[in-house]
Amino acid sequence: MIEQISPLQLFQWIQKQSESNKTVLLIDVREEWEFETAKIKADGFDMVHIPMQTLPAHLDQLDSDRPIACLCHHGSRSQHVANFLKEHGFETVVNISGGIHAWSNELDPSVPQY
């Protein structure tokens, strides 16, 4: 089962991972137009934009030992991606529940909602 964390909980999770000397990778799985519409800044984590449909082609570029947080618009697509990653041997994967919409509401209202 994939752990669900809110945007606020993400930073606690990042801190926990850093205690193991691991840097979190946040994968934004939204489409290009969505990514361009509402971006977040990487703060204490690395970030990559890989639209959901293209993830299988990029799987070999990801480190399966690295902690990964998945993000989309509301949390549904990122949940599918998190499950896909788990099924392909990625050990530490979480889903950011509520997605970029919750990010804007909980953390940074300067991130546009769409």
User: Quick check: helix, strand or coil at residue 29?
Assistant: coil
**Tokens encoding 101:** 């919409």
How many H-runs (helices) and E-runs (strands) does the chain carry? Answer: 5, 5
- Confirm whether 114 is domain-assigned: no
Residues labelled as active-site residues? 72
- Confirm whether 77 is domain-assigned: yes
| Cβ–Cβ < 8 Å for 7, 98 | yes
Per the confidence metrics, is the pTM higher than 0.75?
Answer: yes
Using one digit for the tens of pLDDT, what is the confidence trace for 51-110?
Answer: 999 999 999 999 999 999 999 999 999 999 999 999 999 999 999 999 999 999 999 999
Please classify residue 70 by burial: count the beta carbons closer than 10 Å to its beta carbon, then call 0-12 exposed, 13-18 middle and 19+ buried.
buried
Question: Residue 31's domain is classified under what CATH number?
Answer: 3.40.250.10
Query: Into how many domains does the chain fold?
Result: 1
